[in-house]
């Protein structure tokens, strides 16, 4: 088979865990892909042990080691998300929920910054500065912050991040990530080596697409250091490919890089050879 990475002039990645770093799965991966993403083990909760202490998950170590050994790029997923985030992020010392008081807001800002900087420091210490020897070159900085419905004027998901900090948490996430990955732990003389993305799903659907676009336009207008827009395309054969194209065209006039961060196309059941062939043409 022709390697997928040879058919496109953009990085072609795959989400994995350590099971794909050895044996036949590894051989298949290295033939077809030039970039990897951690499926679960770079999400916020994966960086903390049962006592809430920061440490690298062994799965993240395995992926970084594999990328380093095989000259693969790493697209990080994800720094800030409403899901798979330790509950203590949003709690006071006594376990009660943080409020919207100025003091509690500052607690969450500090935790957000500390988390991002701890991730950057560990990666840079173990694998070298970004833009130098470190294989990581991109992050989904914030993930799935756009509401699925139109009930809110700002179009944003009402997460714990939002409840306490409002839309500010998105700006801060990018500011802290830019400072950590593109300044403090960047190789000398390299200009912004880590590309910073926002990421969301259902962007091929017009309502959410509009809310997503409005948010990105606001971020850019405020000077937030956002480099790119990610599209999670979780679709079926019933979804016209033109809808995916339109999602990308919607953002084409903005000064951002666009990525398809996730792509899966369901066939429906029962699965037949004809459906698999149709799925292949869809991809």
pLDDT of residue 103: 98
Q: Are the C-beta atoms of 60 and 42 separated by less than 8 Å? A: yes
pLDDT of residue 106: 98
Max CA separation in the chain (angstroms): 60
Closest by CA position to 76, among listed 85, 86, 84, 67: 67
Q: What is the rounded distance in angstroms from the CA atom of residue 41 to the CA atom of residue 57? A: 7
Give every strand in the sheet of 195-201, ordered side by side: 13-16, 35-38, 73-81, 136-143, 195-201, 228-236, 257-266
HSE-CB of 226 using CA atoms within 13 angstroms: 28
- Region 197-218: mean pLDDT is 98
Average pLDDT value for the chain: 98
Cβ neighbours of residue 35 closer than 8 Å, sequence gap 6 or more: 11, 12, 13, 14, 72, 73, 74, 75
- Region 212-234: mean pLDDT is 98
Structure tokens at 269: 């059941």
Integer CA distances (angstroms), 124 to 94, 121, 172, 241, in order: 34, 5, 21, 40
Q: Are the C-beta atoms of 250 and 213 separated by less than 8 Å? A: yes
Peptide bond into 78 cis (omega under 30): yes
Q: Are the C-beta atoms of 258 and 231 separated by less than 8 Å? A: yes
How many other C-beta atoms are found inside a 10 Å radius of the C-beta of residue 51? 7
Candidate list 20, 129, 144, 204, residue with the active-site label: 144
pLDDT of residue 84: 98
**pLDDT digit string (tens) for 57-78?**
999 999 999 999 999 999 999 9
Q: What is the rounded distance in angstroms from the CA atom of residue 135 to the CA atom of residue 124? A: 10
pTM of the shown model: 0.97
pLDDT of residue 53: 98
Find the DSSP H helices in 1-142.
23-32, 58-70, 102-127
- Region 44-58: mean pLDDT is 97
Tell me if residue 151 is catalytic.
Answer: no
Q: What is the rounded distance in angstroms from the CA atom of residue 228 to the CA atom of residue 144? A: 14
Q: What share of the chain in percent tops pLDDT 90?
A: 100
Q: What share of the chain in percent tops pLDDT 70?
A: 100
pLDDT of residue 211: 98
**pLDDT digit string (tens) for 140-189?**
999 999 999 999 999 999 999 999 999 999 999 999 999 999 999 999 99
**pLDDT digit string (tens) for 258-267?**
999 999 999 9
Candidate list 39, 45, 167, 262, residue with the active-site label: 262
Q: Please, is 205 exposed, middle or buried when counting C-beta atoms within 10 Å of its C-beta (0-12, 13-18, 19+)?
A: middle
Tell me if residue 160 is catalytic.
Answer: no
Integer CA distances (angstroms), 207 to 144, 158, 211, 232, 236, in order: 15, 17, 7, 15, 19
pLDDT of residue 125: 98
The helix (run of H) or strand (run of E) holding residue 241 is helix 241-250
Q: Please, is 215 exposed, middle or buried when counting C-beta atoms within 10 Å of its C-beta (0-12, 13-18, 19+)?
A: buried
pLDDT of residue 171: 99
């Amino acid at each position: 088979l022709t390697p997928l990475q040879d058919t496109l002039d953009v990085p072609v990645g795959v989400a994995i865990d350590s099971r794909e770093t050895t044996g036949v799965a590894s051989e298949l991966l290295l033939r077809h892909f030039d970039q990897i993403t951690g499926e679960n083990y770079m999400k916020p909760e994966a960086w903390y042990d049962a006592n809430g202490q920061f440490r690298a998950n062994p799965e993240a170590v395995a992926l970084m080691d594999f990328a380093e050994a095989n000259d693969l790029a790493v697209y990080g997923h994800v720094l800030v998300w409403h899901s798979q985030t330790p509950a203590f992020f949003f709690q006071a010392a006594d376990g009660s929920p943080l409020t919207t008081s100025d003091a509690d807001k500052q607690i969450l800002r500090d935790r957000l910054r500390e988390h991002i900087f701890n991730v950057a420091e560990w990666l840079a210490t173990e694998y070298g500065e970004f833009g130098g020897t470190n294989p990581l070159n991109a992050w989904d900085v914030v993930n799935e912050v756009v509401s699925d419905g139109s009930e809110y004027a700002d179009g944003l998901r009402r997460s714990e991040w939002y409840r306490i900090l409002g839309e500010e948490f998105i700006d801060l996430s990018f500011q802290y990530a830019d400072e950590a990955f593109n300044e403090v732990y960047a190789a000398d003389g390299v200009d912004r080596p880590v590309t910073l993305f926002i990421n969301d799903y259902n962007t091929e659907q017009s309502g959410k697409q509009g809310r997503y676009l409005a948010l990105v336009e606001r971020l850019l207008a405020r000077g937030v250091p956002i480099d790119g827009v990610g599209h999670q395309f979780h679709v079926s054969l019933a979804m016209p490919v033109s809808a995916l194209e339109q999602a990308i065209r919607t953002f084409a006039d903005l000064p951002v890089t666009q990525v398809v961060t996730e792509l899966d196309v369901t066939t429906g059941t029962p699965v037949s050879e004809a459906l698999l062939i149709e799925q292949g043409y869809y991809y």
